[in-house]
Amino acid sequence: MSNQPLIAPSLLSADFARLADEMAAVGGDSGGGADWLHVDVMDAHFVPNLTLGLPVVQSLQKSTDIPLDCHLMIDDPDRWAVGYAEAGVHNVTVHAEAADEPVGLAKNLRAAGAKAGLSIKPNTPLEPYTDVLKHYDTLLVMSVEPGFGGQKFIGEVLEKTRRARRMVDTGHLNLVVEIDGGINTETIEQAAEAGVDCFVAGSAVYGAEDPARAVEGLRSQAINAAHARQ
Ligand code: DX5
Ligand code: ZN
């Protein structure tokens, strides 16, 4: 791994009545803290669950300095995703299974000032998207079926993060390899060894007594495991 690992707590496991406080709880005033804040947007169509949308994200954006990482689990991202970029979201991720024109969409997201992310579900192969990913800044590999927090990690997806890592290391792709689902103290090391740069963690952070300490613990595990890999 060339860069320091990024830790992205997922607000899905936070208290939705206190989102500003929950963001501040991982802010790390004394340095450290969350690198990105992961916000799961679900529409009850692409996934069975329903969470929040653009008006809430606009408010979150005003209430934190931590870069937002919006994971859009929605149908028709070609229509909706750019609004999140225009709201100032740092990284806007859409699902490969839902996007009609992923290359054009990445260009539009970047033109609106955001980084563009492409996500693939656990059973979606990486290879068909190799060329498309040249237009993206982030690849989000799902390690659970999208829709809910607190699910069990699917280790088989690490084959995809390994292949993506190789493509980055050999210069064929230039992106952050991100993983989402079931990341905790038991699983983060194997993900770091498999070349992941950015780790989303919901229940492992917001289910902990001290979310900021949980972020730091995950970060040191990821750093140590990544060193062991080199
Ligand atoms: C699930 C979401 C995840 C979720 C992860 O569809 O995309 O971001 O918050 O939660 P944990 O870390 O608890 O598996
Ligand atoms: Zn997510």
As averages over each run of 10 residues, the pLDDT of the chain (230 residues) reads 84 98 87 92 98 98 97 98 98 98 98 99 98 98 98 98 98 98 98 98 98 97 89
Q: What is the pLDDT of residue 30?
A: 61
Q: What is the pTM of this model?
A: 0.97
Taking the CA of 138 as reference, the closest ligand is 2
Alpha carbon of 180 to ligand 2 centroid (Å): 6
CA of 40 to the centre of ligand 1 (A): 8
Pocket of ligand 1 from Cβ distances under 6 Å: 10, 12-13, 38, 40, 71, 144, 146-151, 180-183, 200-204
Q: What is the pLDDT of residue 229?
A: 77
Residue 199: both structure tokens together: 């780790």
180-202 residues labelled b (16+ CB within 10 A) or e (exposed): bbbbbeebbbebbbbbbbbbbbb
pLDDT score of 31? 66
| CB-facing half-sphere around the CA of 93: CA atoms within 13 A | 31
In this structure, the number of other CB atoms found within 10 A of the CB of residue 209 comes to: 6
Annotation says 35 is catalytic = no
